[in-house]
Chains A and B, each alone.
Chain A
């Protein structure tokens, strides 16, 4: 036993000293981030080069863990900067008073990117890079299945892609939420949701992490994925047989950075943000393993060839994105997506497949009776448990909020109760739609 004991003792002593050695540099900047090392390391190195007496320490966590971590450690905070994509994560921290205004700005950065505001209007966080959504596809997979790549969102609903598409849930990924919301705003509440449901009917899976989508396309578990551009292009750059296209209209969103309230080193934190926004910082974004769109217009002077530029229309956003609207119904949209799509994937898939097969059999639509049944089935699948007005109703949204603002606030209804009602309606509708579509098919 002695050997084991000595080895353990030695390693304990070693670990105890290792913990203290990192505190030598004069000033430490702690950055909590959800970005991968491939993105953070170049910025970390360049910044340390410019500020030799600063030691940047990157703490990497998933976005949701980061938010919980900052919330729970607020009472004795040791972190300076929060650096992540999803604007909603920043919104949560801002509303909990866990961010501080940095006062940093750069005049070469426009106030919005493709309709989406670049910075927090109250100055609690800044956009430092932009990214657009698109379709990533595996070339080997599509070749083997004899499919053409889909070029537009609506193509993904075509019957030939049944079972070949992957996407992440908006409740799991803030950027996915923006894509969902962009379609809802562009096509309207009812039509937008119908579009999503018929695309989702072709899903192979709804992944739990946003990175699960590029991963699934890379390994060939499914052929096409709805992903943010840098995932697709970085996969291609690492040698996977994949490619990425921007649909004609897409959602473009900024990734953000902000200073945490009570940061131990607020001034260095501001220097870091100023560096991110400067041309020197922005040009790091062109690296193939990072591959995000700079927000500083001056940085585009040295852009690689054919690099998309959201400021000159090389890529366009579908709608003038209404942030207020998106924020007002944020949790309702996420919950609806999960109840109607994520948790009822099999039911939805079967219903949509039945409709697709019936339509294929129907062909040119010479059978009016069958056509009517199919139309009814489509309407049942598309039917929404709530209308747009309800989705915007602040009282209704309060059911899904984390905290009541005041103790005397009374909320009618509970999330679980509401979701159960939705679920019952959805399951019945999908089952009925499948039955109608099968009936239509049997008439042909």
Chain B
């Protein structure tokens, strides 16, 4: 710009305004996040998925492949099955989650701590071993059916789509539990009291006041369950159910030597359908205001339970917890058992599996903590920023940040893994001296992108419950926007942020499908990969289960620690106030 004369100052200002417009912090953040999502999600996935639009006969662009999809009976059936399984999983997951959330938030219930600490564990379902454990317990010749066989009964818990629905709802119900509980805790007690003053009681109060106020949390959880089940391929594959969309995509993408474009067509349809479901859940929420102004009132008022009610509450809670923790109970039996074959319980018990596991897996455990911890931390930061931008600013196209981030749910891990190899293999990282695709950071990035939707749903729900008038009050008292965000918004969202951290961390710790593509040396491998190694040989089954149990324990410990730290922070803050 040096060649311009001083006389052209106004023109120059206009030019600099165009080149470097004065952007507010939120706009810069939005641009930064959009770039990040574009570089690490859209571009790599597009590089793989464009095959869906290529005519296999001529190599030209076409929509013919989509025509083939809809004219194939198998694919139509798969689509229907995926839809059916997702919907039923939401129903069953709600059946598990609603009583737990209701009991903990409505009553003075001494078992609440139990629910809070155990409720998220089903999310940590280590690959391979989780499904094997379920088969050993509920399969056609699992514990239950072997015991029932004496009476001539065989219940097909695990046959076909039933099995997928059962495992998925057990696995993902914490999404509903965690988000719904966070919502319920945020409800202003005065709302409930006003309703009671106006004569609403019992179920009516719950139906007309409490549930609508908690709806953002429930919908956040339910839509996550729905989309996740719709897109998940691990569970159907391990149960050998092929007639669903995600496994169909996977089978067609990963068969050696075959690159059927249909695999990519299905991937594209999965992504599109997930964005559509999300949009539908937005429509449901539109025009409703769920925010309440007072915070820290401790949620709904809690009623004391009579002894009889207490017993009833405990039986319900214990029953549900036993059911949703059954994979982990079976996993523990597998880890401590010797041989477990066609019998209700293992033949004997041993610690040998753990010594085998510890002697080989130290580095995996460390890597997992680093990758999952960093990924979850970045996730909640990004998620809070996206939620704020979408709900609180008027930036054009802001919804697309949400759609883009959520689309990651629907991208099969294999596709993301291949996309990263394809995009970043020629990109040398300065100072490290290897391609970005084989640097350990890429595994962490893959986990971040894949788990971002979880954190995002939790943070969005949390922010929806924060009344904008609180921020306006702060700003009218002279607080800058950034200090409002730091001092008002984020603290009020902390429950949701924690929920997001927990879900992202716990699920990232056991992710395998993208990481197995990206692991380039044993040194960089996470724990799920270690389980995969064990599960390749018959003698490794017990050791793999032991590593799975260990994963559950360290992830649970990490989560409780995070919960403790954030709780302490919150108490300190409210104490100061």
Interface residues of A (CB under 8 A from B): 1, 3-4, 7-8, 11-12, 14-15, 18-19, 22, 30, 36-38, 57-65, 67-69, 72-73, 75-76, 78, 86, 88-89, 91-92, 138, 140-141, 144, 171-172, 174, 204-208, 211-212, 214-215, 218-222, 231, 234-235, 237-242, 289, 330-331, 334-335, 338-339, 342-343, 345-346, 399-400, 402-404, 407, 410-412, 414-417, 419-420, 423-424, 427
Contact = CB atoms under 8 A, between A and B. Distances in A.
A38 B537 contact: yes
A150 to B, nearest CB: 17
A403 B261 CA distance: 11
Contacts of B19: none
A22 B523 contact: yes
B240 A58 contact: no
A343 B516 CA distance: 26
A234 B536 CA distance: 11
Interface in B206-224: none
Nearest to A10: B370
A88 B256 contact: yes
Interface string B434-471: 11011110000000000000000000000000000000
Contacts of A11: 366, 369-370, 373
A237 B519 CA distance: 31
B68 interface: yes
Q: B56, B254, B367: which has the most chain A beta carbons within 10 Å?
A: B56
Contacts of A208: 237-238, 240, 242, 247, 251
Contacts of B242: 206, 208, 342-343, 345
Contact of B257 (A61, A75, A331, A407): A331
28 contacts: A12-B374, A15-B366, A37-B536, A57-B522, A61-B517, A65-B516, A68-B418, A69-B517, A73-B438, A78-B434, A86-B256, A140-B341, A144-B342, A172-B255, A208-B238, A208-B247, A219-B341, A221-B135, A222-B141, A342-B242, A345-B242, A402-B258, A407-B59, A410-B58, A411-B56, A411-B57, A414-B64, A420-B73
B520 A141 contact: no
Contact of B341 (A12, A204, A240): A240
A410 B240 CA distance: 36
Given A76-B426, A92-B257, 12 more contacts: A8-B377, A18-B366, A60-B533, A67-B256, A78-B438, A208-B238, A218-B341, A222-B141, A234-B539, A241-B339, A411-B56, A415-B261
A411 B260 CA distance: 14
A420 B68 contact: yes
Contacts of A14: 366, 370
Contacts of A222: 141
Nearest to B377: A8
B258 A400 contact: yes
Going nearest first, the 7 A-B pairs with the smallest beta carbon separation are A220-B342, A72-B421, A416-B68, A238-B539, A235-B538, A36-B536, A36-B537
Interface in B376-426: 377, 418, 421-422, 425-426
Contacts of B322: none
Nearest to A57: B521
B8 to A, nearest CB: 48
Contacts of A73: 421, 425, 435, 437-438, 520
Nearest to B257: A92
A199 to B, nearest CB: 17
Contacts of A415: 56, 260-262
Interface size of B as a range: 35 or more
A18 B363 contact: yes
Contacts, number: 233
A1 B434 contact: no
Given A73-B421, A331-B258, A221 B523 contact: no
Contact of B421 (A8, A69, A89, A138): A69
A263 to B, nearest CB: 15
A76 B435 contact: yes
Contacts of A172: 251, 255
Contacts of B74: 339, 343, 419-420, 423
Contacts of A19: 439-440, 523-524
A64 B254 contact: yes
Contacts of B342: 138, 140-141, 144, 219-220, 241
A417 to B, nearest CB: 6
Nearest to B513: A65
Interface string B56-93: 11110000110011011110000000000000000000
A63 B561 CA distance: 39
Interface of B: 56-59, 64-65, 68-69, 71-74, 132, 135-136, 139-141, 160, 237-238, 240, 242-243, 247, 251, 254-262, 338-343, 360, 363, 366-367, 369-370, 373-374, 377, 418, 421-422, 425-426, 428, 434-435, 437-440, 516-517, 519-524, 529, 532-533, 535-541, 561-562, 565-566, 569
A13 to B, nearest CB: 10
Given A22-B521, A59-B521, A60-B533, A171 B255 contact: yes
Contacts of B539: 38, 234, 237-238, 289
A7 B338 CA distance: 37
Contact of A423 (B73, B247, B261): B73
A15 B418 CA distance: 24
Contacts of B136: 219
A403 B438 CA distance: 27
A224 B529 CA distance: 29
A410 B55 CA distance: 11
Contacts of B257: 88, 91-92, 330-331, 402
A300 to B, nearest CB: 24
B425 to A, nearest CB: 5
Contacts of B532: 60
A244 to B, nearest CB: 11
B139 to A, nearest CB: 5
A1 B565 CA distance: 6
Nearest to B233: A208
Contacts of B569: 1
Nearest to B538: A235
B44 to A, nearest CB: 11
B256 A424 contact: no
A341 B539 CA distance: 31
A402 B538 contact: no
A75 B425 CA distance: 7
Nearest to B367: A15
A37 B522 CA distance: 11
A89 B437 CA distance: 23
A240 B369 contact: no
Contacts of A207: 240
Contact of B72 (A61, A72, A89, A416): A416
A219 B135 contact: yes
A65 B254 contact: yes
B123 to A, nearest CB: 20
Contact of A59 (B65, B238, B367, B519): B519
A5 to B, nearest CB: 9
Given A76-B435, A410-B57, A420 B132 contact: no
A375 B57 CA distance: 41
B425 A72 contact: yes
B538 A238 contact: yes
A57 B523 CA distance: 9
A76 B68 CA distance: 37
